[in-house]
Amino acid sequence: MIRARDADADAGAGPDADVSAGRLRPGEPLGVYVHFPFCSVRCPYCDFAVDTRGDVPHDAYADAVVSEIEARRGWFDGAGRLVSIYFGGGTPGLWRADALGRVLDAALGAPTASELEVTVEVNPGEVDAAHLSALRARGVNRLSIGVQAFDDRLLAALGRNHDGAAGPACVRAARAAGFDDVSIDLMFGVPEQSLDGWRRAVDTALALAPEHVSAYALTVERGTAFGAAARAGRLVRPDDDVVAQMFEHAGAAFAAAGLPRYEVSSYARPGRQARHNRLYWSLAPYLGAGASASSLRPLADGTAWRFANPRATDVYLRGKPQTNARHVERRTAADLENEAVWLGLRTVAGVDRAGHRARHGVDPVTGREAAVASAVKSGWLVVDEVHVQLTTAGFLFADEVASRLWL
């Protein structure tokens, strides 16, 4: 999920800004993101808004999210068809299926595409066959399974509360429940992981025949337990060269198995790319509901509103949907043009120059000529009359390239 930063001062907006103001950019596909913050445990690498209380308020949280969706639905009038509803977290697989179903029904009040993607994140060992079948019966048609690793030792280092056998068991249970669109999350560059161990993990994942894989390099965030361990010199991870080899091996192995990379960390079979993530990468409108969830309202004048809900669950539950937004920023046309270049370069397709000019009124190379030339000379970027794209080597330096091209 893309979360808004608290940029009120420089964006010229504040928590009381009228984020419903302005006419939505018309006709673009719409997404809904629902954040379910509750988790059984907090993993030491996680910096998302999670709540590990033992007694999950299933119905109260569903009531609040339904109320928010209904209150803000009109803010997205004029958008195209709803193409994706994504339940993320936290661990939305812990949400009772009937409560989650009420939220899904509320989101379906928008005009809906014939091939709507409805995704729920689940963790191995925390969902049984009956629950998966209930989710499928409610209209969920895609699962994102937080496997992360298949090695018990690595899972313990990552603070996960399942063993290595639970991941494959969860995939098998998903198939038995009728899911034909399954994504697996894997992590590399984690403590105690070797290159050979990563190769075995990739082989194990491919043997499960997923439609989609998200393979992320571990990022150590400052406010996490891993962040504290790293500052104290207690977090030992593979060196950068080994992590780069892991990244390169994933790309080659998944592509050879029919799941080519389509974004820095994402691999999919033909026709199985995540619709929801593609909304984020194309700056399409999305409504975020739930604690910490953010929304984007791109406007017809080329600007946009980005706003996010309170991070704390109890603050969110006490608030009113119309006034819950705490972090609000008005993005200028120049801001969005910069974001479009950064997000577009994360994808294998890159930035379509004609499409970029049509939306933002400027070629993506204009004003960036020197930085583009330097990136091309480094072998990180390819530029022709149609696209600006990262090379295979360039994906290893995606953040560096993006920072150089930011105006």
285: number of Cβ within 10 Å: 23
- Those residues whose C-beta lies under 8 Å from the C-beta of residue 326, and which sit 6 or more positions away, are 6, 15, 308, 309, 310, 311
Give residue-wise pLDDT tens across range 34-87: 999 999 999 999 999 999 998 999 999 999 999 999 999 999 999 999 999 999
DSSP state of 339: H
pLDDT at 8 over 50: no
Give residue-wise pLDDT tens across range 152-184: 999 999 999 999 999 999 999 999 999 999 999
pLDDT for the residue 269:
98
Q: Could you identify the residue written with the tokens 């119309």?
A: 322
Residues carrying CATH 3.20.20.70, the chain: 8-279
The pTM score is 0.95
| Structural contact between residues 322 and 11, judged by C-beta atoms closer than 8 angstroms | no
Give residue-wise pLDDT tens across range 355-389: 999 999 999 999 999 999 999 999 999 999 999 99
Structural element, H or E, at residue 169: helix 166-176
Instruction: For 264-296, give the DSSP string.
Output: TTEEE-TT-S-HHHHHHHTT--EEEESTT-EEE
Q: Which of 248, 243, 123, 252 is nearest to 193 (CA)?
A: 243
pLDDT at 242 over 70: yes
CA distance 208 to 230: 34
Give residue-wise pLDDT tens across range 127-160: 999 999 999 999 999 999 999 999 999 999 999 9
Structural element, H or E, at residue 115: strand 112-122
The identity of residue 135, as a single letter, is L
Joined together, the tokens standing for residue 78 give 């004029």
Q: Is 355 exposed, middle or buried (0-12, 13-18, 19+ CB in 10 A)?
A: middle
Proportion of the chain above pLDDT 90, given as a percent = 91
pLDDT at 18 over 90: no
Instruction: Report the relative pairing of strands 381-383 and 387-390 from DSSP bridges.
Output: antiparallel
CATH of 8-279, one of 3.60.150.10, 3.40.50.150, 3.20.20.70, 3.40.50.1980: 3.20.20.70
Give residue-wise pLDDT tens across range 268-284: 999 999 999 999 999 99
Q: Which of 333, 309, 330 is nearest to 321 (CA)?
A: 309
- The CATH class of 333-407 is mainly alpha
Q: Is 354 exposed, middle or buried (0-12, 13-18, 19+ CB in 10 A)?
A: exposed
Give residue-wise pLDDT tens across range 78-113: 999 999 999 999 999 999 999 999 999 999 987 788
Residues carrying CATH 1.10.10.920, the chain: 333-407
